Structure 1
């Protein structure tokens, strides 16, 4: 979930969930408590507006008591002279936070409140109108009470009044409980909503940030061997995914750097090994000359030719090392020119042929390309490619009569060069790796098949920099064919 969506939902939860939950809880509490009020106080009205009016409320929940006393005053007024009867009536009123006062003439003959209550002077005068069971007199004094008055005549002819006194200070305990329960419920709802949001935000934001913090600490300590798990499509998850991708690239970069360091060490070791043999030969033959071992002109010439050959080997190794350093920093000095394919390869084959003839190796050359086909290439670097491939073939020729075939073909937009030998071939398991730096299919190292192991990697780099491609096929004990292609040069015809 997107962070923006998450924040929008959080805002809606903060606003609407507490309100909706509070309304539902208060509605349930209201139904429950109002049912209790109806059962306890006999209030049957379904309109609860009277709960907001204390006078109306106090009037309602002594209504039945008032009607009962009104009936008794008309039927048996002398009951109000019976203290036991008055106590029973007062006890019932006491449950409704009310009490009874009975007046005869100007004297109070019964006061149901044990503590100091209203005096005769506080009570209203005798009413001349008919009694009203709904109305009452509200006295706003120290005791703030609602007084319901019933005037009647005792059998002896004296006037009397029965008063139901209800204190407005007292609230229904059910209403108090409703208010308390509602307040507690709202607090619990807010706490629940806050806890729910905290857990949700922690799961979606804080936890991924903690993971990022741990991952950052690992990288800071140089540890890249871990995985930052990501799930979801929000911004934090995308950040974690980007961080994981960065970790992978850092690890790849570190591994490449370590591999490069290993390769450099291996290169130095290979070059040192391959230089050791010609240097040893040069030292030996030069000492032979100095010591007079070569005492005939023929021996001296032989010694000098050997020294020259070994010096050339060392020069080739050093040139290869120099080119490798340029490849490694992408600083090969190319000098591209437009070349005629037939003329260029004819010259190459002529030079290669002389060298192969001296080594008693057969050479066959086939050119299937038209004489006017042109390419854009660096003649020196392209010659290096051909020489490296041919030189590699010479190293691994194992037949009594070595043979190398070179074919130039036209393959549409490219010219394809094929260099085939009848050497020992390359194993299928080694073939995919022969263009990698320092890879040697022959693990043994000797003066016959030595080399730095970077010759074919240099060839691949040069061909790719020419916009071409190189590959090979081989069969063990039969031979190997190297292929590479270079795009033809085509004139761009502009419309007039």
Structure 2
């Protein structure tokens, strides 16, 4: 649920719920109070009381007594001159905030008010109007009293009237209690609603913000492993998701940086080791020359050639390190051009064969393409790829007679280059990782193989920058095959 929707729900809840609760309170408590009033005052027509028609409700309250008076007026009017009967009727009315007045002619023969002094009420009493039928009426006086009249004729022919006077102002204290109860219930309900809304807002808004603040502090302290639990799907939930994604990226970057630092340390260790070996050799041969150990021209020539070769090895290591730094900054200098891949490899094989032959390694070239193949490539960088692969093959040759074969194969829109050796091979568990930086199947730095561990990673980078693909297959103790696939160059024919 969106935050906007929650705010709208809260707004309408604050407005509509109290109205609904008020109606509910009035309905429930009102019905309860009216039933109480009916029981207390013997009110008939409860609906009239609840609907607010006060006169009808108050009229019904004394209806039973009024019916008794009306019946007695018709059957035995002289009974109203009996003091005991007068008192019994008045007692029935006293519990209903009412009292009895009896008039004979123009004289009040019974006054049932509490103080016995009803002069003000007596002034408001209407004249006799009943006639022979003894009819009467109900009216509201000016002093907020409800007066019910029953006319009759006494046996001596004197007209009379029976009056039931109901005090509206002092009537029914439960009405006041009813409104107090409704008001109290409303306040309680409003407090409960406010508490529920506050809890809802806390759970959906304030608590996620608190968790977000805690996660921010954890990251500030360097704890990138603190995971923010996301429960909501609103705007705050989306903010938490973005925050969690940011934390994960920061963690990945930190791990990548740590790995990068470790790789750099590994590179420095490798380069330092591999530079130390030729430097030590050069120093030894130079000292031999200085000490006159190379006494013959042949021996001197051998020493100088060895020094030269070791210097070349150092130059290659430095060149590899320089190229590695360019890979990290994506600043490898490429000069792409169209080249005939067949002629290119023929020249490479011719150039490498002499050096490999001196190491007792046979270099073979097999061209299985049916026609010359042109590719877009950087001549120097492609040469670096071939040299790095062959140098790696030479490093791990374990046979008395080494064999390296280069094959070109036509694969439709692609040309496939295979460089195969008969070295010791690569274990299946190592094969997926040989193109990773600093990965060496022989991790011992005491190994005579040496190497910086970045040669094949450079190869993969160059091949991929040419839009190609490289992978390896190998069998232990038999040899390894490097497979390189490059797209052929095709002229676009415009009609």
> Same fold, TM exceeding 0.5?
yes
Partners of 1:482 and 1:125 in 2: CA distance: 127
Pairwise CA RMSD of aligned residues?
A: 2.6
Q: Is the 8 A contact 1:274 1:447 kept in 2?
A: no
Asked if the contact 2:100–2:165 (Cα under 8 Å) also holds between the matched residues in 1, the reply is yes
Cα separation, 2, equivalents of 1:385 and 1:106: 137
Contact 1:126–1:151 (8 Å) recurs in 2: no
Contact 1:341 1:371 (8 Å CA) reproduced:
no
Please say which of residues 42-51 and 158-167 is displaced more in the overlay: 42-51
State the distance in 1 between where 2:303 and 2:116 align. Answer: 144
Structure 2: unaligned runs, 5 residues or longer: none
Aligned to 1:275: 275
Whole-Å separation in 1 of the counterparts to 2:88 and 2:253: 98
Of 173-182 and 399-408, more deviation after overlay is shown by: 173-182
Partner secondary structure for residue 294 of structure 1: coil
Q: 1:128 to 1:369 in 2, by over 3 A?
A: same
1:439 aligns with 2:427: no
* SS of match in other structure, 1:136: strand
1:140 matches 2:142: yes
- The CA deviation at 1:253 is 0.9
Stretches of structure 1 that go unaligned for 5 or more consecutive residues are: none
**Offset of residue 168 of structure 1:** 1.5
Q: Structure 1 stretch 337-346 or stretch 52-61: which is displaced more?
A: 52-61
Aligned-residue offset at 1:57: 2.7
In the alignment, structure 1 residue 467 sits paired with structure 2 residue 467 = yes
CA distance 1:280–1:115, shift in 2 (3 Å): farther
Number of equivalent positions: 492
**What is the aligned partner in structure 1 of residue 128 from structure 2?**
127
Q: Deviations over 1:149-190 (max 9, x none)?
A: 334455566554432111111343454444334334443443
Partner residue in 2 for 1:366: 366
* Per-residue Cα deviation, 1:219-245 (whole angstroms, up to 9, x for no partner): 222211022222454333333222222
The alignment partner of 1:256 has SS state of helix
Q: What CA distance in whole angstroms lies between the structure 1 residues aligned with 2:50 and 2:241?
A: 63
Q: Does the Cα contact within 8 Å between 2:204 and 2:232 map onto a contact in 1?
A: no
The answer for the alignment partner of 2:68 in structure 1 is: 68
CA distance in 2, matches of 1:124, 1:62: 18
Query: CA distance change for structure 1 residues 48 and 157 in 2, over 3 Å: closer, same or farther?
Result: closer
Deviation at 1:355, TM superposition (A): 1.2
Is 1:355 aligned to 2:355, yes or no?
Answer: yes
Deviation at 1:440, TM superposition (A): 0.7
Deviation at 1:256, TM superposition (A): 0.2
Structure 2: distance between partners of 1:186 and 1:117 = 43
Q: Secondary structure at the match of 2:415?
A: strand
Deviation at 1:191, TM superposition (A): 3.6
Superimposed CA distance per residue, residues 244-302 of structure 1 (whole angstroms, 9 cap, x where no aligned partner): 22221111111000100111111111111111111111222222222333333233222
How far is the alpha carbon of 1:398 from its aligned partner?
Answer: 0.7
Q: Deviations over 1:81-124 (max 9, x none)?
A: 44443333222212211122334555544433324752165342
Checking the alignment, whether the CA contact within 8 Å between 1:51 and 1:57 is kept in structure 2 is no
Q: TM-score, normalised to structure 1's length?
A: 0.90
- The 3 A distance-change label for structure 1 pair 403 and 116 is farther
Q: Is the 8 A contact 1:356 1:363 kept in 2?
A: yes
Greater shift, 379-388 or 164-173, is seen at 164-173
Q: Partners in 2 of 1:494 and 1:30 — Cα distance?
A: 95
